[in-house]
């Protein structure tokens, strides 16, 4: 392995961990973890937390079903279960190396179903574009809907945007700037990689074919349903956790939607499962809605930790399921070969 590849792999693995870890350290450097333990074991409602995890599973299930739907117009018909397992595994792998999941799940279908890797990658790109547009449209709608609400909030509390900005420490501004710069660097590298791929006409052609598969999808209404089901599941996965804590259960859909959108945008910053940027973004919005800083920090740490723990569990389940199916297939093939030999 040459030095350039080593540097790239180091960047892809180490830098996101350092960035996320640095933000988390800054947020929790003076935090009283004894109060966190008390809340975790004695004050939070675990029934609501367990219920929220159901929607963490359904979000990925619907994503797998939608992916199978987009592959069909390309003449690719992987198993439904393999599409779902590939999605489960992709999220688990992305915790280790951010953004590798999109590539990994295409490789899984190629291995187990013989699906064309470039075509599968093209459909993933299409999915990401559609999901990004949906988040952007929702974000703009929420922003315009909340202008009046924010104005009322500032009038009643006697605060202003300037006062909120002044409340940011110098470190807070640095964290925000670092997140923005990291995102720009990540986008530059992604665009550069696509430019390199453009030199391989066949690969690019297959990717383009995958990206245009949507226009030939069998049921556009079903695709639309899956898309909204994915994001409704994500939202419920987050919103239901408000009822786990006394200090957030009074917050309504508006606060949940605003913090959910801001948190969804913040995970563009390449850190493992959004760790760091998501904490910082959601904490800031919760404080805006009147939650005490200590409570807001407690909320984001517990919710993100518990929900992140679900991801590798699903990945392990899928890895075992795929491995078991592969061994079963090998055993059946060996049995078939043995029967053939005996018959001859």
Largest CA distance in the chain: 90
Contact 60, 314 (CB under 8 A): yes
SS3 242: helix
Residue 2, in any domain of the structure: no
Residue 82, in any domain of the structure: yes
Contact 314, 57 (CB under 8 A): yes
Residue 143, in any domain of the structure: yes
Query: What pLDDT band is residue 195 in, cutting at 50, 70 and 90?
Result: very low
Residue 95, in any domain of the structure: yes
More confident residue, 102 or 12: 102
What is the model's pLDDT at position 79? 93
- Angle 231-233-236 from CA coordinates, rounded to 5°: 110
Q: What is the pLDDT of residues 258-283, one digit of tens each?
A: 889 888 877 776 666 667 778 888 88
Q: What is the mean pLDDT of residues 230-251?
A: 94
Contact 138, 263 (CB under 8 A): no
Can you state the percent helix, strand and coil of the chain, rounding each to 5?
A: 85, 0, 15
Which DSSP category does 272 fall into?
G
Contact 48, 244 (CB under 8 A): yes
Q: What is the mean pLDDT of residues 31-50?
A: 84
Cα 93 to Cα 13, 89, 105, 128, 238, distances in angstroms: 11, 6, 9, 17, 21
Q: Quick one: how far is CA 57 from the chain centroid?
A: 12
Residue 22, in any domain of the structure: no
More confident residue, 224 or 151: 224
Residue whose entry in the numeric block shows the structure tokens 């409340």: 167
Contact 310, 56 (CB under 8 A): yes
Residue 239, in any domain of the structure: yes
Residue 5, in any domain of the structure: no
Q: What is the pLDDT of residues 290-337, one digit of tens each?
A: 888 888 989 998 999 899 999 999 999 999 999 887 765 555 554 454
Domain range enclosing 221: 49-322
Q: What is the pLDDT of residues 105-121, one digit of tens each?
A: 999 999 999 998 888 88
Cα 284 to Cα 68, 260, 279, distances in angstroms: 38, 12, 8
What is the model's pLDDT at position 314? 94
Cα–Cα dist 83/165, whole Å: 45
What is the model's pLDDT at position 139? 79
Cα 310 to Cα 57, 96, 306, distances in angstroms: 8, 14, 7
Residue 330, in any domain of the structure: no
The listed range with the strongest mean pLDDT (4-8, 151-155, 215-219, 311-315) is 311-315
Q: What is the pLDDT of residues 139-160, one digit of tens each?
A: 788 777 766 655 554 554 444 4
Cα distance between the two ends of the chain:
49
What is the model's pLDDT at position 253? 87
Cα–Cα dist 134/200, whole Å: 31
Query: What pLDDT band is residue 196 in, cutting at 50, 70 and 90?
Result: very low
What is the model's pLDDT at position 153? 45
Give the chain's domain count. 1
Q: Is the pLDDT of residue 176 over 80?
A: no
Task: Report pTM.
Answer: 0.77
């Amino acid at each position: 392995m040459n030095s350039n590849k080593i540097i790239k792999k180091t960047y892809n693995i180490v830098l996101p961990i350092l960035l996320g870890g640095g933000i988390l350290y800054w947020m929790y450097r003076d935090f009283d973890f004894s109060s966190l333990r008390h809340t975790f074991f004695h004050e939070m409602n675990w029934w609501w937390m367990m219920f929220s995890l159901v929607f963490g599973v359904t979000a990925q299930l619907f994503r797998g079903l939608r992916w199978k739907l987009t592959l069909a117009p390309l003449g690719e018909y992987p198993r439904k279960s393999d599409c779902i397992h590939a999605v489960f595994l992709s999220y688990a792998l992305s915790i280790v190396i951010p953004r590798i999941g999109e590539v990994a799940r295409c490789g899984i279908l190629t291995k187990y179903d013989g699906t064309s890797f470039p075509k599968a990658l093209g459909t993933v790109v299409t999915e990401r574009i559609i999901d990004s547009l949906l988040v952007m449209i929702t974000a703009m709608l929420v922003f315009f809907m909340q202008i009046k609400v924010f104005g009322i909030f500032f009038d009643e509390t006697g605060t202003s945007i300037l006062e909120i900005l002044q409340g940011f420490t110098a470190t807070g501004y640095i964290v925000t700037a670092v997140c923005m710069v990291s995102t720009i660097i990540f986008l530059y590298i992604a665009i550069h990689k696509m430019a390199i791929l453009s030199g391989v006409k066949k690969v690019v052609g297959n990717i383009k074919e995958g990206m245009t598969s949507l226009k030939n999808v069998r049921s556009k209404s079903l695709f639309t349903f899956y898309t909204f089901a994915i994001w409704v599941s994500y939202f419920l996965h987050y919103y239901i956790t408000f009822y786990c804590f006394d200090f957030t259960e009074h917050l309504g859909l508006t606060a949940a939607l605003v913090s959910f959108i801001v948190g969804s945008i913040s995970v563009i910053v390449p850190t493992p499962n959004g760790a760091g940027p998501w904490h910082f973004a959601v904490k800031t919005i919760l404080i805006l809605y009147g939650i005490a800083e200590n409570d807001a920090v407690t909320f984001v740490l517990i919710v993100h930790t518990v929900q992140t723990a679900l991801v590798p569990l699903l990945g392990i389940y899928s890895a075992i399921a795929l491995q078991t199916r592969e061994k079963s297939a090998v055993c059946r093939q060996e049995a078939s070969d043995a029967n053939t030999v005996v018959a001859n």
